[in-house]
Amino acid sequence: GLDRLEHAARSLDADAARLMELEMAPFVGDPEVIKDMRSKLKEWLVQNTIRADPMVRDALGKSLQKRRVNAPAGAKGTK
């Protein structure tokens, strides 16, 4: 059970590393671009993780629902 899960996690990690290498291949000769790409990727991962959190999604949904209490379904904007 646990060994299979650990093996699957390692396999997925290796696959992800290979895919990242492939995606970064065009930038191999430019360390500044690679540094910038890594920074942007980290930021995207953090933001994506936060947005995917069920508590965050629920809070956003409630906030938006409160703002649009009197708006008809499908209404867009204020004009």
23-63 pLDDT, tens digit each: 889 988 999 998 998 899 899 999 999 888 989 888 888 88
Give 8 or 66, the one with higher predicted confidence: 8
* Torsion region of 51: left, alpha or beta (phi above 0 gives left; psi -120 to 50 gives alpha): alpha
Give 7 or 71, the one with higher predicted confidence: 7
Q: Residue 73 has what pLDDT?
A: 67
Dihedral, CA of residue 64, residue 69, residue 73 and residue 74, to nearest 10: -40
Counts of helices then strands in the chain (DSSP H, E): 3, 0
Q: Residue 61 has what pLDDT?
A: 85
Judge if pTM exceeds 0.75.
no
Number of neighbours of residue 27 by Cβ within 10 angstroms: 14
Sign of the C-alpha dihedral, residues 35, 39, 44, 50?
positive
